[in-house]
Amino acid sequence: MLETGDPAPEIDAPNQHGETVAPDFDAPTVVYFYVEDGTPGCSTQADQFSREAGAYADAGVTVYGVSTDDVDSHREFAEREGIDYDLLADPDGDLCAAFGVPRDHDGRAERTTFVLADGEIQRVYTGVSADGHARDVLMDMLDDGLVSL
């Protein structure tokens, strides 16, 4: 798994609209890996990142959710949950591999979050609890001086 100080990987993947997205990790960015579209914990996590979207935008932070679900699953999940940030589809596990995120026996990503800026990994969260995580990440970015409101 990538660690604090490691260079950010160069990635691209389709979002829930089928558009290829290539994040700019020079700018403050959160990439959170979640298990599966529509599960209770993943819905909680996605909803809370959506609720914090204004604060993240005010701080100049882009948020991406990633799971091994496909574009169609992401589209349905985003519509059902009202998610307005990009969910990146990783059905082959390429993004998991780029970040070194472990996958379970069914190939689903373990809940892991990366904070990136200046082209490198700034923070890594493993064993993430979905509830409250979105707010905690933003507060840590503020405390670390990566962003300001």
Active site residues: 42
Type of residue at 137: V
CA gap 142, 149 in Å, rounded: 8
Identity at 14, one-letter amino acid code = P
Q: What is the distance in angstroms between the CA of the first residue and the CA of the last residue of the chain?
A: 30
Q: Two tokens at 95?
A: 């993004």
Q: Are 65 and 83 in contact (CB under 8 A)?
A: yes
